[in-house]
Amino acid sequence: MANIEEVTSLCSDISKFQNFEITKDKVTKLFCKIVIGDSRNMVYIEDNSVNLIVTSPPYFNAKKYSEDVSGKDLGNIDDYATWKKEIKNVWKECFRVLQPGRKMFINIMNLPISNETIDLCEDIGFKFKREIIWHKTNSVRAHFGTYPYPGGILINCMHEQILEFEKPAPKGYDKYKHLTKEIKEGSKITKDFWLSLKNSSVWVMKPYKSGTREHLAPFPVELPEKLIKAYSYVSETVLDPFAGMGTTAKAALTNNRSVILYEINNNFLNLIENNLPSPFIKYEKKIIQNKPKKFKNVTQKIYPVA
């Protein structure tokens, strides 16, 4: 819990980022924890402590994310059966750390991996709720194929899937018991935003702009932002077990949620740090080198309001 006077003095420009009033008995300091390590073993996260998971896993051998061939980087495993076995361990950890009754969203390519992912997660204990279609308004151009002759015309894939899962809760369990009136009021969504969710499961969003592809497969910040605003409350904690360049963190912190990131590739650390919102209200950032069973705080920084 943050010091009342400390937070109040730092938040002179808080209205830019926060739409609820800070009262003397309800102040929460946001945090951003970055773990450079393997999300198959998220030893720094307690059971049932995360309120929302938003992520996009490496797509088997579709893209090369690093030079690692040891099997630690799931994006470089070229055997599909091995990839499924290993990524299932990530989903098991996600199930462990997610609060009962709360949701996990996985942005993933279309068939066959999406169906396999549903099977893997349901086998662990998740309940599959629905799919959302992310329609890309512009994408990579398809090859000509046999054009102008028929028979081999190639069709450009302009969509990906967002799979919604829920961790079942025991009967009578109140998943929102920890929320105060101030937090609920500060998390209200607009009517237009509610209608955009209610009226269509097809989300039209441009992919991450071309020409800045430091990371091979970033999704647009609007994607995690929409999920975070719709399925979590301010001051809650969001997890991304495949952080990439930190887009989920940017969306979470900008909308007054804390965030935990796991990323196996140390080369992405600078991208993540550069992608964090600034200026911002005060929050902690911890960068942790993943050493199982031993918590090591390598770096801790404070980002003040400008």
Q: What is the CATH number of the domain that holds 11?
A: 3.40.50.150
Which regions of the chain does DSSP assign to beta strands (E)?
A: 30-36, 50-55, 98-108, 127-136, 159-166, 202-205, 237-240, 258-263, 283-289, 299-302
Residue 6, token pair as written in the block = 């400390």
Count of domains for the chain:
1
Least confidently predicted of 31-35, 179-183, 193-197, 276-280: 276-280
Over 80: is that where the pLDDT of 85 sits? yes
- The C-alpha atoms of residue 251 and residue 221 are separated, in whole angstroms, by 6
Over 60: is that where the pLDDT of 262 sits? yes
Least confidently predicted of 39-53, 78-92, 207-221, 263-277: 207-221
pLDDT value, residue 284: 59
- The C-alpha atoms of residue 142 and residue 59 are separated, in whole angstroms, by 19
Using CB atoms within 10 A of its CB, is residue 31 exposed (0-12), middle (13-18) or buried (19+)? middle
Domain that holds residue 44: 4-170+178-302
Q: How many CA atoms lie within 13 A of 8 on its CB side?
A: 9
- The C-alpha atoms of residue 138 and residue 263 are separated, in whole angstroms, by 28
Q: Any idea what the Cα angle at residue 255 is, between residues 254 and 257, rounded to 5°? A: 100
Band (218; pLDDT cuts 50, 70, 90): confident
Over 70: is that where the pLDDT of 198 sits? yes
- The predicted model gives 220-225 an average pLDDT of 95
pLDDT value, residue 73: 63
Least confidently predicted of 8-17, 77-86, 173-182, 241-250: 8-17
Over 60: is that where the pLDDT of 113 sits? yes
pTM greater than 0.75: yes
Higher pLDDT residue, 71 or 186? Answer: 186
Higher pLDDT residue, 265 or 13? Answer: 265
Nearest residue to 189 (alpha-carbon basis) of 234, 130, 250 = 234
Encode burial over 63-101: b for 16+ CB neighbours within 10 A, e otherwise: eebbeeeeeebbbbbeeeeebbebbbebbebbbbbbbeb
